[in-house]
Amino acid sequence: MAVVPILEYPHSILRQRAKSVASIDKTVFRLADDLMDTLVDSGGVGLAANQIGSLRRLIALKMPEDEEPSVYINPRIVRREGVREVSEGCLSFPDHYGIVQRSMWVSVTGLDRKTNMFRICADGLLAQAFEHETDHLDGILFIDHLLSHQHLYEYPDEEADSEHEPSDERLVDAVQ
Ligand code: ZN
């Protein structure tokens, strides 16, 4: 179990498609533990295997209300409904966020940490996280979903010149 470095854009592995896990062995459990440890250490909501340099279909999620992270093996979104606009960031794009379109809810299947089959219907942040992380496994990044180039913002640096910070007004415009 280890906290490992999170790869940042434009690292090429973030654009590659991860392969399904065909057999569960010790290396899968080790990767699952690394994913969970690294996610918890980062304080983020989700992390995909690509982001720590592995092209296997594993993701880890930890909602703000969760005490422990969860790992999903070969997660697959089998149904999605509705469209909404949400603010989104990514651990591979430190300090950036943008407005993207995501589903209202999703239905996801795969294997859990104990290799049991699961099927989860999710809405809200959990649905968004499943979409974001399964995208990673296909080499798709949240910037691919940006509504326009104007919608990628840098979080204001406290030291930065205030003239270069995105104003609240611009943000409100972006959401509309
Ligand atoms: Zn991400």
The residues assigned a catalytic role are 133
Using the predicted structure, report yes or no on whether residue 131 has a pLDDT greater than 70.
yes
Band the pLDDT of 176: cuts 50, 70, 90.
very low
157 or 59: whose pLDDT is higher?
Answer: 59
- At 1 the pLDDT is 65
> Do the beta carbons of residue 112 and residue 72 sit within 8 Å?
yes
- At 149 the pLDDT is 62
Helix (H) or strand (E) holding 24: none
- At 173 the pLDDT is 36
Using the predicted structure, report yes or no on whether residue 163 has a pLDDT greater than 90.
no
Ligand 1 (ion): residues with CB under 5 Å are 90
Band the pLDDT of 156: cuts 50, 70, 90.
confident
Question: Ligand 1 centre from 89 Cα, in Å?
Answer: 7
Band the pLDDT of 168: cuts 50, 70, 90.
very low
Band the pLDDT of 52: cuts 50, 70, 90.
very high
Q: For 44-57, what is the mean pLDDT?
A: 98
Q: What are phi and psi of 39, to 5 degrees?
A: -65, -50
Angle at 44 between CA 38 and CA 48, to 5 degrees: 60
- At 153 the pLDDT is 81
How far is residue 122's CA from residue 63's CA, in Å, rounded to a whole number? 12
Question: Ligand 1 centre from 74 Cα, in Å?
Answer: 17
- Residue showing tokens 């409100």: 172
